[in-house]
Structures are given as C-alpha cells and as structure tokens.
C-alpha cells in the first residue's frame, strides 16, 4: 500500500509517516523540509503555499495497487481581524488549507485506477464549523475542505466508483500550530486565554493519540459518512 501524506516535517504528519513506515508501507511525503530517513520513504520538498502543479505524483499514483491520500498540511495564518490583514496574509492560508488539498485530490482521482482501493483523508478542523474571531481565513478554509470532501464523494459515487472519503477534525492537538496560537496578541484574538488554559491544564491531545484514533477510524468498515471528529 502507498500512503501520500502532506505536512510530514512535524506534528501529525510526521507521526503518521512514522506509523505507516513501521507497518511496512511505502510512504510519499510532501513538505518544506525532510526530517525522516527510511528506505520506504520518498520525500518531495514543496511549499504548498506556492505549489499548484502536482504532476510529479502522477507516476506514483498510477502505479499504486492501493492508495491512501492524507491531506494533513495546514497553517493558521496571521491571527488578526480580517480588516487588519493584507492579501499576502490571506492567500497563503487558503492556498495551503483548501486549494492544495483540492488539487491533490484532483490528481489522485484522475490518475489512480477506478478499480483499485482508494482512501482520501482531509484533515479539517472544528474551526471549520464555528466562527472564531481572528481566524477568518482559517475557519473559511477548513469549512471549504469539509464541503469539498462531501462533494467529491458524491461525484465519485455517481460514477459507481468505490472509495472512502473522510474530512477529519482531530481536536486541539499539541503541535507547533498551538505554539503560534499561544503567541498571538490577545488584543486581536479574543479566545487567546482559553488556548493558554488548555496548555496549562494539559488538555491538548498528543499527536500520538490522534494517529491512534485516525488509524482506528480507517480500519473500520466505511459507511459513507464523510465528516468526523476525533474528539467524539
């Protein structure tokens, strides 16, 4: 089995990569820097805020007998009211969180044979389901990912293709993104204190627990549901 994972340099992506390599699978990682050395690991150095051409994956996708695509890479962007931001604050957030996953899904759906087992996992967020002041671009980009995931599942189902599509909110996870959130200006981010409290009370979920829950989810029979929260 081949697993393509974005955002493998740290956090959930790094932990997922380590898990699947330990299980003996071929893993293809996409990220800005490589932190993994393994004979079954192929790395492509790409900045997803700038990358729109994913043809470098075509041969790998076409040759795979079974494929899992995990769109894990994500950025919170500048934490500030949208009225105080400029275009260069907004565009990279939408590019990494929404456009890159959409283009990767398009690449896989076009080049992976219809008759072979395919799973698509988009890492979403609870922030895609409720507004959080200071996170307008992030919330919108994750909401887009949820609806995109549901739509491509229905599109492929209309074609009688058998596949699994998940849009998974992992919960509040102890990653470098949380460090960035805690460094935000409280004047621009009204929820700042609540995120400090989560860290102080040791209520953040570990990346290892997220991987455990996600792997358990993918091991279950698929029921056609796309939207999941690992907090539940």
Written as tens digits, the pLDDT of the chain (232 aa) is: 999 999 999 999 999 999 999 999 999 999 999 989 999 999 999 999 999 999 999 999 999 999 999 999 999 999 999 999 999 999 999 999 999 999 999 999 999 999 999 999 999 999 999 999 999 999 999 999 999 999 999 999 999 998 999 999 999 999 889 999 999 999 999 999 999 999 999 999 999 999 999 999 999 999 999 999 998 6
The single-letter DSSP state of residue 130 is S
Assigned superfamily of 2-171+206-229: NAD(P)-binding Rossmann-like Domain (3.40.50.720)
E strand or H helix at 28, and its extent?
strand 26-31
Residue ranges per structural domain of the chain: 2-171+206-229
* Largest Cα span, the chain: 53
Q: Cα 223 from chain centroid?
A: 21
- Residue 10 burial (C-beta neighbours within 10 Å; 0-12, 13-18, 19+): middle
Please name the residues in contact with 62: beta carbons below 8 A apart, sequence gap of 6 or more. Answer: 111, 112, 113
């Amino acid at each position: 089995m081949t697993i393509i994972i974005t955002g493998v340099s740290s956090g959930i992506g790094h932990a997922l990569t380590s898990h699947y390599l330990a299980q003996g699978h071929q893993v293809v990682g996409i990220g800005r820097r490589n932190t993994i050395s393994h004979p079954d690991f192929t790395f492509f150095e790409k900045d997803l805020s700038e990358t729109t051409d994913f043809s470098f994956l075509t041969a790998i996708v076409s040759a795979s007998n079974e494929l899992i695509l995990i769109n894990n890479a994500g950025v919170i962007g500048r934490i500030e009211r949208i009225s105080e931001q400029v275009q260069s604050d907004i565009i990279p957030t939408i590019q990494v969180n929404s456009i890159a996953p959409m283009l990767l899904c398009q690449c896989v759906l076009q080049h992976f044979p219809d008759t072979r087992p395919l799973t698509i996992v988009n890492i979403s967020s609870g922030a895609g389901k409720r507004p959080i002041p200071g996170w307008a671009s992030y919330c919108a980009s994750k909401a887009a990912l949820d609806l995109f995931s549901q739509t491509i599942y229905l599109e492929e189902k209309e074609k009688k293709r058998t596949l699994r599509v998940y849009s998974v909110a992992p919960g509040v996870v102890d990653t470098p993104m949380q460090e960035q959130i805690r460094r935000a200006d409280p004047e621009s981010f009204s929820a700042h204190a609540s995120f400090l409290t989560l860290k102080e009370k040791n209520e953040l979920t570990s990346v290892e627990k997220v991987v455990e829950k996600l792997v358990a989810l993918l091991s279950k029979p698929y029921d056609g549901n796309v939207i999941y929260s690992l907090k539940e």
